[in-house]
Amino acid sequence: MEETAQEQASPEVRERVQDSFDRQGLMRLLGARLTVIAPGRVHIELPARPEVGQQHGYVHAGATSSIADSAGGYAAFTLFPEGSEVLTVEYKINLLAPAVGDRLEAVGTVLRSGRTLTVCRLEVFGVHDDGRRALVANGQQTLIRLDAPRP
């Protein structure tokens, strides 16, 4: 998905988000990657592979939930000032359909960004190489902005 210059986060924000994402061992273990970093919106893709599957061949709910959580967290993080950190306070996810497709795409979108708490919408789509997409999970998340620890 191509983003116009208006839809992209600044280079500094993109670098800060990517650097943080790269430190996440779970995302690396799952094989997830950031595909969109825009102000208040982040997309994360996860290739569907046997290693992230469950016993029926669908992508495991744990993997689905993990990329949704990270997409929302980083969507919030795009709006935080330099020197801030983000932590999930809570999230609820509804698994609407079996997670099938060639890959999953999680989309985190900020609904409201406050001084301390931010609320995000979470969506996960099953995406097929032929262009078909289906919503497989949705949810909502609350995040807290913290000051980064000082060295």
- Give the tens place of pLDDT for each residue, 59-117: 999 999 999 999 999 999 999 999 999 999 999 999 999 999 999 999 999 999 999 99
| Cβ count near 70 (within 10 Å) | 25
The torsion region of residue 57 among left (phi > 0), alpha (psi -120 to 50) and beta comes to: left
96 found inside a domain: yes
Establish if 5 belongs to a structural domain.
Answer: no
* pLDDT at position 93: 98
The count of structural domains within the chain is 1
| 114 bridge partner residues | none
Give the Cα separation of 80 and 89 in Å (integer): 16
Q: Report residue 148's pLDDT band, with 50, 70 and 90 as the boundaries.
A: confident
Decide if 1 is inside a domain: no
b/e code 10-26 from CB counts within 10 Å (16+ = b): eeebeebbeeebeeeee
Q: Is residue 118 part of a domain?
A: yes
Nearest CA to 108 out of 139, 62, 144 is that of 139
Average pLDDT of the chain?
94
Residue 6 lies in a domain: no
Q: Three-state SS for 149? A: coil
| Domain extent for 36 | 11-147
pLDDT reading at 146 higher than 80: yes
- Scan for tokens 């900020």, then name that residue: 110
Is 130 a member of any domain? yes
Which of 1-5, 39-43, 92-96, 111-115 shows the lowest per-residue confidence on average (mean pLDDT)?
1-5
Is residue 24 in a domain?
A: yes
Query: Over the stretch 45-58, which tens digit does the pLDDT of each residue have?
Result: 999 999 999 999 99
Q: Is the pTM of this model over 0.85?
A: yes
pLDDT at 150 over 80: no
User: CATH number, domain at 31?
Assistant: 3.10.129.10
Other Cβ atoms less than 10 A from the Cβ of 138: the count is 17
Average pLDDT of span 111-128: 97
Cα(127)–Cα(14) distance, rounded to whole angstroms? 24
3 within some domain: no
